[in-house]
Chains A and B, each alone.
Chain A
Amino acid sequence: MKRISATVRLNRSTLQFDDAAYARLENYLAESASLLEGDPDPQEILGDLEQAVADQCMRRLRPDQTVVTLAELVPALEEIGSVQTPTSPAGPEQTTRAAPRPLQQVSEGAVISGVCQGLARYFGLNVTALRIFAVLLLLVTGGGVILVYFALMLLFPYAPLESGGQPLRWLPAKSRAFTEFLRAKLSFATN
């Protein structure tokens, strides 16, 4: 058995969506709802958007067609566009609750490759404390942590260099070049 369509109530209109289109629609509405987090009246806006989707899809249905497919939904959503809240262009609000930074290595100001800086930034730690801890680990593990560092160096993507940031020191620049060289080799080997 396979469900082939769903009846969807979009604000004041009712429409049939096939499975793929329904999934895409759910996705769009969930994304809109998360973009509207913090808005005092998200229900009103979501209702308006639902109606817009319904209107746009109905306009695109052929006269003999009853079920909305991706062929109608995708261009409809494109025309509606993703949610832009009126406060977002101002900027500061967005930067204060910026998305969590991914685990990266930070070449600028790095001692070796920037792994410690990346970890400190990700977990909100003091980088100097983390480096001291790493050196202690190096002594305790008898050098085993070097392998871990090396693995993280290969795994962590590099944070984009900030324009106007401090120039790279010799070792971070070299290890960055080395990592990139190894990664190229490895992806060559796996292909």
Chain B
Amino acid sequence: MIVESKLAPIRKGLLEFLVLKIVGTRSVYVPDILRRLAGTEFATQEGTLYPLLSKLRREDLVRYDWQESDAGPPRKYYRLTDAGRAQLAALDDYWNRINRTIADMGH
């Protein structure tokens, strides 16, 4: 759809914000994140998520712990660092400002 493709770059840019949001709720592993995003406008794949999480880890916004699983090898569980929490709050704030600007522009 035309509307969707117009906002495609914004959607891509927002993925990082949403991943921080999801990781911020509780410690999660990648299938949890995928499931949370599936069926939304932000549905994504492991091929996209792992490079993103690796970047966020390098930027010290998330970190992971290994947790044993009852099926298969241990899993990486991601959670926010303090810097990640601060970044998320700032992004939330900025996003709300943008939304207000957009909402006010029509009046």
* Residues in A lying within 8 Å of B, measured CB to CB: 11-13, 32, 36, 39-41, 44-45, 48-49, 51-52, 55, 58, 79-86, 89-91
Contact = CB atoms under 8 A, between A and B. Distances in A.
Nearest to B10: A89
24 contacts: A11-B73, A13-B72, A13-B73, A39-B51, A40-B58, A44-B57, A45-B50, A45-B51, A48-B54, A48-B76, A52-B50, A55-B72, A79-B45, A80-B46, A81-B45, A81-B46, A81-B47, A81-B48, A82-B47, A83-B50, A83-B51, A85-B51, A89-B13, A90-B13
Contacts, number: 60
A128 B40 CA distance: 53
Which 6 residue pairs are nearest across A and B when measured between Cβ atoms? A81-B45, A12-B73, A81-B47, A89-B12, A48-B50, A84-B48
A166 B2 CA distance: 27
Contact of A86 (B16, B45, B46, B72): B16
B55 interface: yes
Determine the main DSSP class of B at the interface with A.
helix
Contacts of A13: 72-73
Contacts of A58: 72
A86 B47 contact: no
